[in-house]
């Protein structure tokens, strides 16, 4: 472990780097590097504080880069020393992307390598790190979204390492296949799209006009992304955030600009869309998104793409041929994204190999969860577009002692958007104050 400290407003930060086995079943084999940022309140850097480790959502995203004590961090620093972990393959940890994965060999070899980047490996990483930074003392695990999936695996695999589990928008289905996840997801996305158009009725025609232009011209965006109608529809992923509907509206209202040749998509629109659709900063999200649901001997087999066919409202071509609204899609990954996105094209065969894989280890132990003794709380967002409320509440009911807080005050990003309020309430629940 190496460390270097510096300050921001209201916080002392320390960069930490760790080396862990690529394969925890072969601890003497290859090792990869993990980066984490320690945060502590000024004046308490030498205090013996309990630790809280934060597991980011995704999969495939490094821990949030805060400026000072933004969002929930300031509240956490009142009681804890915080470790913001870049999970393996993300952020400043050993990268896994189009530039580095070819070092692993062909597509099949790359896919085998990536099977070690799921929740089970992440939790084993945490356990090695915990012993190094806390001296063996258990810590509180704060898991947002996919980080909550990791926290539930933690409760299944290594509860002795946890002082408490705090989960926000991240209670997974324990035994459902990816198909079950997406069959529940598409109706939620449809409701979010309807709500958006009810809020911004002028966007119905705007979206149809933009969609028709894209379907006819399939422009190539400044970063080389080939913008198809389906890709445009995928901007609906924004609708799962508290400000997502507003962001989408502002994007649509300035889409076109007059040119000598008539009308075209504005440079501003294209630049914003390029940034929104590119997976250059988080390719693991695209590669592993369906794999986080994979267990047992069944392939995911491009689940979101297959299940989409069961919901014809999301057929953009059919929508444009009729007179109804164009439906945006949500948090789904499709094979065409590996054709459109230059950051993903070299990984197309790797993605297909992962989608075809049938040898997946189980992630959750229902019997161990039923005997849980770790204090556990979870924010369940009633209108969450990304995680099904029904699935989440069924899982909550299987974890002994877990206290769910069901609220429609926030969307999936409530931990960030709600400032200190969400974490304050959940920690109050953990401590028996609420």
DSSP state of 332: -
Say if strands 81-86 and 31-40 run parallel, antiparallel, or are unpaired: antiparallel
Among residues 384, 388, 391, 413, the one annotated as catalytic is 384
Active site residue 156: no
Active site residue 412: yes
Among residues 153, 245, 412, 413, the one annotated as catalytic is 412
H or E segment at 429?
Answer: helix 421-430
Under 8 Å between Cβ of 329 and 386:
no
- Map tokens 């400026």 to a residue: 67
3-class secondary structure, 178: helix
Task: State the virtual CA torsion across 226, 229, 233, 235 in degrees, nearest 10.
Answer: 20
Active site residue 384: yes
Exposure letters 268-289 (e unless 16+ CB within 10 A, then b) = ebbebbbebbbbbebbbbbbbb
Distance CA 82, CA 59 (A): 20
3-class secondary structure, 2: strand
Under 8 Å between Cβ of 155 and 369:
yes
- Map tokens 């911004």 to a residue: 200
Distance CA 380, CA 293 (A): 19
Say if strands 403-407 and 376-381 run parallel, antiparallel, or are unpaired: parallel
CA distances from 230 to 64, 252, 267, 336 (A): 29, 16, 20, 9
Cα angle 280, 285, 289; round to 5: 150
Exposure letters 379-411 (e unless 16+ CB within 10 A, then b) = bbbebbbbbbbebbeebbebbeebebbeeeebb
Among candidate residues 432, 407, 401, 389, the one with its CA nearest the CA of residue 170: 389
Say if strands 11-21 and 51-55 run parallel, antiparallel, or are unpaired: unpaired
- Map tokens 């504005």 to a residue: 266
Among residues 93, 121, 145, 278, the one annotated as catalytic is 145
Q: Which residues are catalytic?
A: 145, 384, 412
């Amino acid at each position: 472990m190496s460390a270097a400290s510096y300050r921001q407003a209201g916080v002392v930060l320390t960069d930490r780097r760790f080396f862990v086995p690529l394969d925890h079943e072969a601890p003497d084999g290859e090792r990869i590097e993990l980066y984490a940022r320690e945060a502590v309140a000024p004046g308490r850097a030498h205090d013996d504080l309990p630790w809280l480790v934060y597991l980011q959502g995704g999969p495939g995203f490094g821990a949030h880069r805060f400026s000072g004590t933004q969002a929930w961090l300031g509240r956490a620093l009142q009681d804890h020393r915080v470790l913001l972990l870049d999970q393996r393959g993300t952020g400043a940890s050993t990268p896994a992307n189009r530039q580095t994965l070819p070092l692993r060999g062909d597509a099949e070899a790359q896919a085998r390598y990536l099977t070690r980047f799921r929740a089970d490996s992440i939790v084993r990483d945490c356990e090695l790190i915990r012993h190094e930074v806390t001296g063996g003392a258990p810590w509180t695990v704060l898991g947002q979204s996919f980080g909550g999936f990791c926290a539930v695996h933690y409760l299944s695999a290594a509860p002795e390492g946890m002082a408490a589990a705090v989960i926000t928008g991240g209670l997974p289905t324990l035994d459902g296949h990816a198909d079950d996840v997406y069959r529940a997801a598409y109706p939620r996305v449809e409701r979010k799209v309807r709500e958006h158009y009810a809020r911004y009725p002028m966007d119905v025609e705007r979206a149809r006009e933009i969609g028709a232009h894209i379907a006819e011209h399939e422009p190539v965006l400044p970063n080389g992304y080939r913008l198809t109608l389906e890709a445009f529809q995928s901007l609906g992923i924004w609708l799962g955030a508290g400000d997502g509907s507003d962001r989408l509206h502002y994007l649509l209202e300035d889409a076109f600009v007059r040119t000598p040749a008539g009308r075209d998509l504005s440079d501003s629109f294209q630049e914003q869309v390029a940034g929104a659709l590119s997976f250059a900063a988080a390719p693991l999200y695209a590669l592993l998104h369906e794999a986080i649901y994979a267990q047992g001997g069944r392939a995911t087999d491009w689940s979101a793409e297959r299940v989409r066919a069961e919901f014809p409202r999301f057929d953009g071509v059919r929508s444009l041929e009729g007179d109804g609204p164009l439906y945006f899609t949500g948090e789904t990954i499709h094979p065409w994204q590996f054709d459109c996105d230059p950051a993903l094209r070299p990984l197309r065969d790797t993605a297909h190999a992962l989608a075809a894989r049938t040898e997946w280890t189980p992630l959750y132990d229902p019997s161990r969860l039923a005997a849980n003794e770790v204090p556990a709380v979870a924010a369940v967002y009633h209108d969450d577009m990304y995680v099904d409320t029904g699935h989440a509440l069924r899982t909550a009911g299987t974890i002994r002692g877990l206290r769910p807080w069901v609220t429609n005050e926030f969307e999936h990003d409530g931990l960030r958007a709600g400032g200190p309020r969400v974490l304050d309430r959940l920690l109050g629940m953990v401590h028996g104050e609420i």
